Structure 1
Amino acid sequence: SLGDLQANLNDISARYGKDVVVAETAYPFVLGDADGWGNLVGLPGQLVAGYPATPVGQAANQRDVLSIVRAVPNGRGLGAFYWDATWTGVAGNGWDPADPTTGNAWENQALFDFDGRPVPAMDVYRR
């Protein structure tokens, strides 16, 4: 849960006296699939409560993740890195570079929609 994320970041930072980052985060803007490969998150039961798989839900989730990082005491939360923000469902852009017929399981969590347009979560990272 996001509460667990906050507790763990706070604990790690305090316990070890270190700055912290969220090294990989992502959230879907839709449950649909663009490349026929199947997605890592593709079912309603896989979603975090309160964050629908919509462009607005994705942006809200990422805004809250970044707020959690900013709330780490003593300014020790440095930021977050979005996982595969540009891995869209484009032919030849699959997980196996040697096999252009492969797809990817992340395109519904990219920061670009299935038509290549930036989604609202992109604005969260501009701040």
Structure 2
Amino acid sequence: MSRGVPFDVIGVSHYIYWHGSVASLQANINDLAARYGRPIVVAETAYGFTLAADDSEPNIFNSSLQQAGGYPATAQGQADALRAVINAVKAVPNGRGLGVFYWEPTWTAVSGNGWDPANPSSGNGWENQALFDYGDRALPALAVLGTA
């Protein structure tokens, strides 16, 4: 604002296992909306549905991050974590909570399609946070995302 750049929306990233609790997210986005008078989106979030891997690449979401996040690494835990983030955004005063974007909801492990374009066999460190299980079935969190 001090540089006079106009903007319409404020976007924040919030992974509860890295950035803190849903209560801290709520306090932050309420403050931002009140201070700047702009709508808020959570531009990226994700949570694991399992600690198991589906390829050879170590997953970013692991038991330490599960503990930090406070939800179990289960299909229901993933749905509950996402629901909590969505509810925080919906609770922003004056209707300024716009919505939530899920980071890489379809990034499942596919042989020969790794994260590194120079090394197709590099694997995927995010597949346990996708919204589809290792049998390519939609997880409950996908329906929760539809309520955002």
TM-score range with shorter-chain normalisation?
Answer: over 0.9
Q: 1:95 aligns with which of 115, 124, 127?
A: 115
So what's the TM-score if we normalise by structure 2? Answer: 0.82
- The match for 1:28 is 48
- The match for 1:53 is 73
Q: 1:63 aligns with which of 80, 83, 104?
A: 83
Q: 1:110 aligns with which of 130, 133, 137?
A: 130
- The match for 1:122 is 142
Pairwise mapping of residues 69-88 of structure 1 onto structure 2 (< 5 A)?
69-88=89-108
What amino acid maps onto 1:72 in structure 2?
V
**Given that residues 87 and 93 in structure 1 are in contact (C-alpha distance below 8 angstroms), is that contact kept between their aligned partners in structure 2?**
no
What amino acid maps onto 1:14 in structure 2?
A
Moved more, 63-72 or 85-94: 85-94
Over aligned residue pairs, what C-alpha RMSD do you find?
0.9
The answer to which structure, 1 or 2, has the higher relative contact order (CA under 8 A, 6+ apart) is 1
Among all aligned residue pairs of Structure 1 and Structure 2, give the percentage whose two residues are the same amino acid.
56
Q: Residues 10-60 of structure 1: CA distance to partner in whole angstroms, max 9, x if unpaired?
A: 0011111110100100000001111110011112x31212x1000000000
Which blocks of at least 5 consecutive residues in structure 2 are unaligned? 1-20
Deviation (angstroms), 1:111:
0.3
SS at match of 2:121: coil
